[in-house]
Structure 1
């Protein structure tokens, strides 16, 4: 799905990412690496393949769009250092020419040395381009001329069928004042939104992105 926002073309991918061709930047939010390992450590049986699946999906996006920068808009890592962070470090070795940027979120609690070791550039609280301000939990950007793009809430939308059945999907939410990206990780819940008439909502189905 190709849209125009602030006179700039954006590509919305069904893999829960946005590509900004002008900046050669791929943006995702709420990757939550380490979440399943964190649950397993607490004795909750969670499949070990969840994080691997997310990284495979991310790798496919990088191959498709060939960005110069990968921006994670908060909650890249779920909590403390664990085996999934090590898995990510090994996965990242194949992308030596790619700039990794993290806008810190509420779950990003690794120490500064860990981020340096992973060669991830940290921005707190925001990362700004010529027209957009990426910030994890929405607040108005200090530069009011920029359009804020946040994450954090894992937005979802309910679609109703002709037989009164309902399906819930993650979505991209573009409002008049700011946007919210879907959670990239498949191991997250959905916060169902109630859009305003002026909002643009794009549901992410298994096959494609559709405008609601």
Structure 2
């Protein structure tokens, strides 16, 4: 799905990413590396395949778009270094020329030297590339920049003819900003209430479907 936002062409992928073609920029949010290992450590059985699936989807996106830079709008890691982070290090070694930029989220608590070891450029508050501001959670004050954030794990409810109630992750585009879907499959959804003029792009297993209020 191709959308026009502030006169820029953005490609919305069903693999929960945005590709900004003119900047060769691949954008994702809420990867939560280490979350599944954190749950296993606390006695909750979560398969190792959860993290591997996320990395495999990243492989597909990089092969499809060949980006120069990967931007992650927060919650790349889920607090601490663990076995999932080691798996990321192995994945990272396959793409030594890929620039990775992290705008820190509330779960990104690694040490400075850990990010450096992974070859990750870190921004504490925001990354400004006109006309966009990349930030983890949408700011309270509005200015000339269009905000692209994550954090909320947005979703929508679709009702079928037989009263089925299905939940899907989505991209949200409002007047002042967009909210990215959580990239990790191991996350919940926050169902957003549409307002007039909002654009939702529902992510199904096969494609991205627009819903305009």
Report Cα offsets for 1:153-195 as digits up to 9, x if no partner: 1000001111221110000000011110000000000000001
Looking at structure 2, the residues matched to 19 and 166 of structure 1 have their Cα atoms a distance apart, in angstroms, of 30
Question: Which residue in 2 is equivalent to 1:70?
Answer: 70
- The CA deviation at 1:124 is 1.4
Residue 104 of structure 2 is aligned to residue 104 of structure 1: yes
What is the DSSP-based 3-state SS (H/G/I as helix, E as strand, rest coil) of the residue aligned with 1:22?
Answer: helix
The 5-angstrom pairing of residues 69-148 of structure 1 reads 69-140=69-140, 144-148=143-147
- Using structure 2 for the length normalisation, give the TM-score: 0.97
CA shift in 2, pair 1:17/1:165, >3 Å:
same
1:8 and 2:8 are equivalent in the alignment: yes
SS at match of 1:88: helix
- Look up the SS of the partner of 2:144 in the other structure: coil
Structure 2 runs not aligned, ≥5 long: none
Write the deviation string for residues 91-140 of structure 1: whole angstroms up to 9, x where unpaired: 11111111000000000001001001111000111011121000001105
Is the partner of 2:22 in helix, strand or coil?
A: coil
Distance 2:12 2:147 in 1: 17
Q: Distance in 2 between matches of 1:57 and 1:210?
A: 19
Corresponding pairs, count: 211
Give the TM-score taking structure 1 as reference length. 0.98
Q: Distance in 2 between matches of 1:74 and 1:110?
A: 12
Aligned residue for 2:155, secondary structure, equals strand
Which residue is 1:168 aligned to?
Answer: 167
Q: Does 1:205 align with 2:195?
A: no
Q: Distance in 2 between matches of 1:208 and 1:96?
A: 30
Cα distance in 2, alignment partners of residues 140 and 62 from structure 1 = 33
Contact residue 4 and residue 10 of structure 1 kept, 8 A: yes
Give the drift of 1:141: 6.7
User: Quick check: 1:69–1:99 contact (8 Å CA) kept in 2?
Assistant: yes
Q: CA RMSD in A?
A: 1.0
Spell out structure 1 runs of 4+ moving beyond 6 A.
Answer: none
Provide the C-alpha distance between the structure 1 equivalents of 2:87 and 2:40, rounded to a whole number of angstroms. Answer: 16
Alignment gaps of 5+ in structure 1: none
Rounded Cα–Cα distance in structure 2 between residues aligned with 1:124 and 1:23: 22
